Structure 1
């Protein structure tokens, strides 16, 4: 994989990591809701310099209901998260999931399925903002996952999750470990 130079991680991301004492991970996923894009960056130096390499920008779809942290809002939460667990490794492209269990295939009658291919389950790291109580990202089942509506990527369409194409999600799933930091910004 070739990497382009990416000079800095967002200031708000770096400040939040410092405030919470969260160390920089080898990879960081930056999700920008305004542009419906996600960028994968790889740390190249220490956290102080925040010098990174960008390895890719991906079209995503986030919530059609907007930004929000609250349970049952169907909104995409903001802030610092990490990949808490990964689901779906080893299943073929087109696997469809319900409650994190494989239930069928897109080519076998599950066209337009909501959750496909792989799941990166997110956990909020900011107490009171996206962790704990009625704002808990993990308890809200917020994922980065595949979708049966790939032509719709690039515009808000989800119920809070971050949708990604199979072509982008499968290699990303194999590359990033659990614990990888995810920054979601407006």
Structure 2
């Protein structure tokens, strides 16, 4: 997969913000499902690219599809500040355990680790509203205990990063930061 940044995705983010009469944010993210990459922009300039994993299933906004939703989103919750790297979350609450302290059976799963950026879709009928709502589907950007799978589709709909990268990204974004997910 090509991991070099694609500024076309950032242009799509800007155009979609204008279409929806919403303001682009100083810190913006683009997620490329094709490249398995998340690009962090600050004031329109690419600041950093991260290797990610999106869904094993095809991209989809449909409830229960286990696909990564496309379209324009915003970050509505920043969860996990101050928790140790590798902390496991269930129901968006720290378990107090690090992923390697979990049972072998639990470690086989894609655990939600380190930090959580909760997303809300901004496009009615696409990724917001009944049957397609990103927020109601609990789609996040978060750390993973399976960093060896990054760069390949491996999630159940979320966007996964290494735990180190997740800490860095968490510290760079703001509530309300726009996120454009592109196929």
Query: Any idea what SS the aligned residue of 1:135 has?
Result: coil
Structure 1 equivalent of residue 49 of structure 2 = 57
The structural deviation recorded for 1:94 is: 1.1
Q: Is the 8 A contact 1:7 1:53 kept in 2?
A: no
Structure 1 equivalent of residue 139 of structure 2 = 142
Does structure 1 residue 79 correspond to structure 2 residue 79? no
2:83 to 88, 91, 102: 91
Distance 2:144 2:111 in 1: 5
Query: Any idea what SS the aligned residue of 1:107 has?
Result: helix
Structure 2 equivalent of residue 3 of structure 1 = none
Change (3 A) 1:108 1:36: same
Distance 1:9 1:53 in 2: 13
Unaligned runs of at least 5 residues, structure 1: 1-5, 44-51
Q: Is the 8 A contact 1:91 1:117 kept in 2?
A: yes
1:119 to 101, 110, 116: 116
Aligned length: 173
Unaligned runs of at least 5 residues, structure 2: 1-5
TM-score (norm 1): 0.88
Does structure 1 residue 109 correspond to structure 2 residue 102? yes
Structure 1 equivalent of residue 13 of structure 2 = 13
Structure 2 equivalent of residue 37 of structure 1 = 37
Distance 1:64 1:8 in 2: 24
Distance 2:93 2:54 in 1: 22
The structural deviation recorded for 1:34 is: 0.4
Distance 2:178 2:36 in 1: 18
User: What does the per-residue CA deviation read over 1:50-106, in whole Å, with 9 as the maximum and x for residues that have no partner?
Assistant: xx2111110000000011011111000000000010111110011001111111211
The structural deviation recorded for 1:16 is: 1.4
Distance 1:37 1:11 in 2: 16
Q: Is the 8 A contact 1:39 1:56 kept in 2?
A: yes
The structural deviation recorded for 1:9 is: 5.8
The structural deviation recorded for 1:107 is: 2.9
TM-score (norm 2): 0.90
Distance 2:98 2:11 in 1: 41
Change (3 A) 1:157 1:19: same
